[in-house]
Amino acid sequence: MKIVGFAVDVSRSQDERIVRSQRIRQSLIQATLDLIQAGDVEPSSGAIATIAGLSSRTLFQHFIHLSDLYAAAFELAASRAFGSDRKVDGAAPLASRIALLVSDRAQLFEEWLPVWHFAERVRRTAPAVCAGLAHLRGILRERIAAWFAVELDALDPVTRDHALDSLDRTFGLDSWLNMRERQRLSPMRASRAWQFTAESIVQQALTGPDPSQASA
């Protein structure tokens, strides 16, 4: 194709526009996440655009709704925090696995608190964030099942479900949030309390009597 006598590579021009658009989107998503991690539970379009070095108009050219940008920022945060999991040595002593899990999740959940507050604030206006939270809880539950697979697989199905429910609650984000936000424990004290509580609950859940027979 020629315009005013000059050859124009249309495909290259289109590729450059696509790359530029992707860079702008990434810049807006990162700016949103930066604000969230700094404690802004509901970043405004103006604040996001300022951090990204762009205009609000440009923001809405790439994200029609602010909720779409929120969802993209949440997805990025989740992929970074939970995209991979430590490999579990099923042959390691139960106490060692509990200690390692407490250490890993305490650090992870502490770093995740600002994103959690953001997600709780916007989940009603950003359905994709709400769905992302539900999906994340499912992932954490699956990882608990893998962490204690040796013990859980030795149980009958009903007892296994009871034990997994207990483990999921014990090592869940809500448990850490309760200690840090409601009980106002320091990260160190919360970790110690979690370790003590987890050992007791896990030992009972995995080695105790069948819950279905306890009420018989």
Residue 200: what pLDDT?
Answer: 80
Q: Rounded to whole angstroms, how far apart are CA atoms 129 and 176?
A: 20
The full set of domain ranges for the chain reads 2-64, 84-211
Residue 208: what pLDDT?
Answer: 59
Sequential DSSP letters for the chain: -EETTEE--HHHHHHHHHHHHHHHHHHHHHHHHHHHHTT-SS--HHHHHHHHTS-HHHHHHH-SSHHHHHHHHHHHHHHHHHS--PPP-TTS-HHHHHHHHHHHHHHHHHHHHHHHHHHHHHTTT-HHHHHHHHHHHHHHHHHHHHHTHHHHTTS-HHHHHHHHHHHHHHTSHHHHHIIIIIS---HHHHHHHHHHHHHHHHHHHHHS--HHHHT-
Per-residue pLDDT of the chain (216 residues), as tens digits, is 444 444 545 456 667 888 899 999 999 999 999 999 999 999 999 999 999 999 999 999 999 999 999 999 999 999 999 887 777 787 888 888 888 888 889 999 999 999 999 999 999 999 999 999 999 999 999 999 988 888 888 888 998 898 899 889 888 888 999 999 899 999 899 888 888 887 787 777 666 554 444 444
Residue 209: what pLDDT?
Answer: 54
